Amino acid sequence: MIIIPAVDIKNGKCVRLFQGDFGKETVFSDRPADMAIRWEREGAGRLHVVDLDGAVGRSPQNRSAVEDILKSISIPVQLGGGVRELSTIEAYLDLGINQVILGTAAQQNPALLKDACARFPGRIVAGIDARNGKVAVQGWTETTGDDPYELAARMEQAGAAAVIFTDINRDGMRTGPNIESTLRMCRTVKIPVICAGGVTRLDDIKALLPLASEGLAGAITGRAIYEGTLNLAEAAALLRGESGSV
């Protein structure tokens, strides 16, 4: 299990939204690459990047910022937001993205997910965002009637390499991750699960550790590391088993 810092990009800047509300954003840096460099230096083994404008606009909107990040760090980068075409996936992979996340597109266009997984094996990750037990799409601006666990099973069958499961109700709330729903997701699929939403402090990481044996491969954190309630270096050391002074 690893800790994965998030870099969300909106209008070319590194921001965090409150529960996905585009009207409630906090800007943490005018240059997302600077944050990526910081997180790599603090021990991150992977970076989670989201093109927020792309998620709503349905096509990539922050390519230059993504390119800047890729030129600045050496750790693998997983990216989502606005990916709706095979050509977009191929372009991102050619650019140097390690894995592309399909969320809304995978939910609304299963054929795209299946084709992408067949063409780029091991490089496509399913993104499932849930609000009150139902799947949310379009950058969390719309909630569907779909069950997230049933959707995960279909995405696994289509060939997804992993599932990123986000509990929107926990995002930015500092209440800790939803252990119960994360465990259920881990037991629903056999592919690795990465959780997001609510990871706020070191105790949250410790609470998630038992789920590693159930298939939890990582935890994404955003606002907590930007505001200092979670020290990324300490979390990374804990998960490496090199606790030091932790």
Using an 8 Å Cβ cutoff, are 170 and 200 in contact?
no
The one catalytic residue among 51, 53, 68, 129: 129
Q: Between the CA of residue 133 and those of 33, 102, 148, 207, 222, what are the distances in Å?
A: 34, 19, 7, 21, 22
User: Is 204 annotated as catalytic?
Assistant: no
Tokens 């491969």 -> residue: 217
How deeply is 179 buried, as exposed, middle or buried, from its count of CB atoms within 10 A (0-12, 13-18, 19+)?
middle
**Residue 201 Rama label (left phi>0; alpha psi -120 to 50; beta):** beta
Of the candidates 241, 246, 238, 231, the one whose C-alpha atom is nearest the C-alpha of residue 42 is: 231
Hey, which residues does 162 pair with through a beta bridge? Answer: 125
Active site residue 146: no
Measured between alpha carbons, how far is 166 from 66 in angstroms, rounded to an integer? Answer: 22
Active site residues: 8, 129
